[in-house]
Amino acid sequence: MRDSKKYYYYLKTNTMAVIKPFKGIRPPKDLVESVASRPYDVLDSEEARAEAGDNEKSLYHIIKPEINFEVGTSEYDPRAYNSAVEQFQKFQDEGWLVQDDKEHYYIYAQTMNGKTQYGLVVGAYVDDYLIGNIKKHELTRRDKEEDRMKHVRICNANVEPVFFAYPDNQVLDTLLARYAATKPEYDFVAPDDGFRHQFWVITDETDIKTITEEFKKMPSLYIADGHHRSAAAALVGAEKAKNNENHKGDEEYNYFMAVCFQASQLTILDYNRVIKDLNGMEVAEFLKALEKNFTVELKGQAEYRPTKLHEFSMYLDGNWYSLVAKPGTYDDNDPIGVLDVDISSRLILDELMGIKDLRSDKRIDFVGGLRGLGELKRRVDSGEMRWALALYPVSMQQIMDIADSGKIMPPKATWFEPKLRSGLVIHKLD
């Protein structure tokens, strides 16, 4: 066993991002479109069942294993976790997933609306997560962590990647551009989202060394999306280390799979709100109350999108409004106080609507920006919701500033698109 005193002193003084290549488990080129799926947490059980259909090679059989049982089976049913293991083994036995012979890094590119972002698929260091070198900006729920921990434990693998950002790096940018000019291992457009997904295998030892060394120069990595998966993967790794009497520190379980993108390449969409009522107020009364902290301007019936930070758009009774926060209602020098999600949560949802907890209050729901403002209008016009609030998107710099400050963002603040495709590569923990 390691000398824990010396080890944890090292951890506290270690300010570099540690990564390693790994022997990925991947589908053969001709099967990738059959295997690949959306992430487990962007669709419910019945949507996964419908998308899998009669495709026995769909990764949903591993990441949404409740679909292997009768309709209505809980995702937390013990049978589901056991089925995930069985299916994972079956996929390998059938040759639908095959492990690479050597350790590699991988490149995963996504193209949405003509814009491509290039990510490096790496083994991220568990201890970096535990000591805060991998920085988070959201709270996690223990029940959701535990669900993912069960899945990682029982499969003994990171079946799905987490989504990291790293500070822009010219050396890595040049390397990625060089690979982007070559033929990818995988190249397809997913039918459900219409986005292009490309994948390269980095076999060159010099390139592998360069990537490892460049990450060592970075003091931190940032979780963009996948806080629960990151927590689960790191906690299982730490668990395995604790339970292994012969733990040395170089075991595969000391790392978990992450796709790391340059911060400036990422697209963060608006994450909007729809609310069921006006908290007992008449429309005129509500509009008057808003004027305390906002400059309110009627924009008419045409869709109106916020054009800058601290501007909101509101849809109510068939009309769109611009709401501009008045000076003094926010603090541009505070990483949280500058956020529009904080302004709207404090001054509209809490103060006027009495909505205190965004995570649990049933009077509010959230709509990712990919669905557009039309979805807000639809849900209000249908009578399901009374009014809607659209926000200006959070920037990656704001997220990094918050993570660096050690603070946590308000709930439902960020919506990253495109989502990472699952099933392109898997990381085993042994």
pLDDT digits (tens, 9 = 90+) for 184-238: 999 999 998 899 999 999 999 999 999 999 999 999 999 998 899 999 999 999 9
Phi and psi at residue 157, in whole multiples of 5°?
A: -160, 155
Contact 202, 176 (CB under 8 A): no
Q: Collapse the DSSP code of 123 into the 3-class scheme (helix H, G, I; strand E, B; otherwise coil) and give the result.
A: strand
Is pLDDT at 378 greater than 90 in this prediction? Answer: yes
Is pLDDT at 349 greater than 80 in this prediction? Answer: yes
> Between 5 and 237, whose confidence is greater?
237
pLDDT of residue 1: 41
Q: What is the mean pLDDT of residues 157-178?
A: 97
Q: What is the mean pLDDT of residues 275-295?
A: 98
Is pLDDT at 6 greater than 60 in this prediction? Answer: no
pLDDT of residue 4: 46
Strand 134-135 and strand 221-225: the pairing is: parallel
Q: Which of 333, 282, 332, 283 is nearest to 310 (CA)?
A: 332
Q: What pLDDT digit, counting tens, does each position of 400-417 carry? A: 999 999 998 887 888 888
> Between 145 and 95, whose confidence is greater?
95
- Lowest-confidence region among 24-38, 273-287, 399-413: 399-413
Is pLDDT at 13 greater than 60 in this prediction? Answer: no
Cβ-count burial of 91 within 10 angstroms (0-12 exposed, 13-18 middle, 19+ buried)? buried
Q: How far apart are CA 52 and CA 29, in angstroms?
A: 19
Is pLDDT at 354 greater than 70 in this prediction? Answer: yes
Q: How confident is the model at residue 24 (pLDDT cuts 50, 70, 90)?
A: very high
Is pLDDT at 9 greater than 60 in this prediction? Answer: no
Full-model pTM:
0.88
Cβ-count burial of 361 within 10 angstroms (0-12 exposed, 13-18 middle, 19+ buried)? middle
- Lowest-confidence region among 1-15, 67-81, 243-257, 398-412: 1-15
Domain ranges of the chain: 4-267+418-428, 271-392
DSSP state of 297: E
CATH class of 271-392: alpha beta
pLDDT of residue 141: 80
Indicate the length of the chain as a whole number. 430
Contact 165, 224 (CB under 8 A): yes
Is pLDDT at 12 greater than 80 in this prediction? Answer: no
> Between 288 and 192, whose confidence is greater?
288
Is pLDDT at 366 greater than 80 in this prediction? Answer: yes
Q: How confident is the model at residue 14 (pLDDT cuts 50, 70, 90)?
A: low
Is pLDDT at 358 greater than 90 in this prediction? Answer: no
Tell me if the bond preceding 306 is cis, omega within 30° of 0.
no
Q: How confident is the model at residue 326 (pLDDT cuts 50, 70, 90)?
A: very high
Is pLDDT at 72 greater than 90 in this prediction? Answer: yes
Contact residues for 391 (Cβ-Cβ < 8 A; gap 6+) = 270, 271, 272, 273, 306, 312, 340, 341, 344
- Lowest-confidence region among 248-257, 299-308, 355-364: 355-364
What's the chain's average pLDDT? 94
Positive/negative CA dihedral, 133, 137, 143, 147:
negative
Q: How confident is the model at residue 7 (pLDDT cuts 50, 70, 90)?
A: very low
